[in-house]
Structure 1
Amino acid sequence: MVDATKTIHVRPARRDDAPVLCAFLNEIIRIGGTTAHQTPFTPKNFAEHYLEGPGFVSCFVAEDENGEPCAFQGLERSDGIPKDWADIGTFSRPGNKVKGAGTALFEATRDHARSIGFKALNATIRADNVGGLTYYGRMGFTDYKIDKAVPLSDGRLVDRTSKRYLLDAD
């Protein structure tokens, strides 16, 4: 793990980030076990989902000390949660994580969500994604719901834990 805490730069994602962000999200999907996504993205459908789709709220990118994207975090509106909540998803470059990137991303995402009037953030995490559960817990998210035995595309059943972060709580 690279320790670049003092050199992390966070900025809004751009359409020209889609190929590199898509590549490391697809690597995460290929590895398995840490994302609800099971089908690889193309740069085009990545951009449509994370950068400009109908549910799009925001997407921030963390850059490492070389100015390369090392993680991203997206917010989107979705059915199944209150209208003043947004779903959050966080993805880090496999194999070369940058310490502090997740915290820096969350600070930007949280502040943006507050500024546009959201009341809470929802993170729904696979029960077998220990790193994701730990990350969101460290950021201050608390459990509020468990969906039991959600089927994956291969037929395996995996629980999903929903955690919320109340934006007016701190």
Structure 2
Amino acid sequence: MINVRRAIALDAPSMAELLNTIIEEGGTTAITTKVSGDDLAQWMAEKGRAAWHVAVDNAERVVGFQWIASGTDYLPPEAAEIATFVQVGQTGLGIGSKLFDATRNAAKDLGYTWINANIRADNEGGLIYYQSRGFQDYGRIEDYEMANGQKVDKILKRYDL
């Protein structure tokens, strides 16, 4: 059984471990350097108009997390940026769906009118996930340079609340 709840600072080390595994595997996130629990706790504290949720199993182990926040240079204030991470090997089990239900409600409560997903064009799983939630393509960023120097295209998807 998977439960979704608001993330708290005590979840940050488990969230970092999950994210670092995804970073090590490569190919799905634009985050290229490992993060610590302290990094994530700081991000949670600093993200302003944001909501962070974790999906946990019966033993309260984090199996996924998602956040929305404002503050990107190219988005208007009524738009939230979203990021989603599910434990390697646990995709396709409904974790992302449960996270998005909570995130969508939080976005409305925070006064957003739409959510932006900025996905690597080579991240087939991410593109399918956001499409299945009802996100629509609206733009593309070509030759986006990640922190490690790798260049990828990014697909911009929009979900109207």
With normalisation by structure 1, the TM-score equals: 0.89
TM-align CA RMSD: 1.4
Which amino acid counterpart does residue 24 of structure 1 have in structure 2?
L
- C-alpha deviation, 1:65, in angstroms: 3.3
Q: Does 1:102 align with 2:104?
A: no
Counterpart AA for 2:8: R
Q: How does 1:1-170 map to 2 (within 5 A)?
A: 7-49=1-43, 51-55=44-48, 57-78=50-71, 79-97=73-91, 99-167=93-161
Residues 39-65 of structure 1: CA deviation (Å, up to 9, x unaligned): 11111111112x111445010011123
Q: Distance in 2 between matches of 1:54 and 1:121?
A: 15
CA contact (8 A) 2:32 2:148 kept: no
Partner residue in 2 for 1:4: none
Structure 1 unaligned residues grouped into runs of 5+: 1-6
Secondary structure of the equivalent of 2:152?
strand
CA deviation string 1:101-135 (max 9, x = no partner) = 11000000001111221100001000111000000
Q: Is contact 2:32-2:147 (8 Å) kept?
A: yes
For 2:107, the aligned partner's letter is A
- Residues matched between the structures, number: 160
Is the Cα–Cα contact under 8 Å of residues 87 and 122 in structure 1 kept in the other structure? yes
SS of corresponding position for 1:114: helix
Deviation at 1:153, TM superposition (A): 3.8
- Structure 1 residue 95: Cα displacement: 2.8
Q: How far, CA to CA, are the matches of 1:56 and 1:47 in structure 2? A: 15
Distance 2:137 2:120 in 1: 13
- The residue type paired with residue 99 of structure 1 is L
TM-score by length of 2: 0.93
The AA in structure 2 aligned to 1:52 is A
CA distance 1:98–1:65, shift in 2 (3 Å): farther
8 A contact 1:70–1:98 mirrored in 2: no
Question: Is there any run of 5+ residues in structure 2 with no aligned partner, and where?
Answer: none
Runs ≥4 in structure 1, deviation > 6 angstroms?
Answer: none
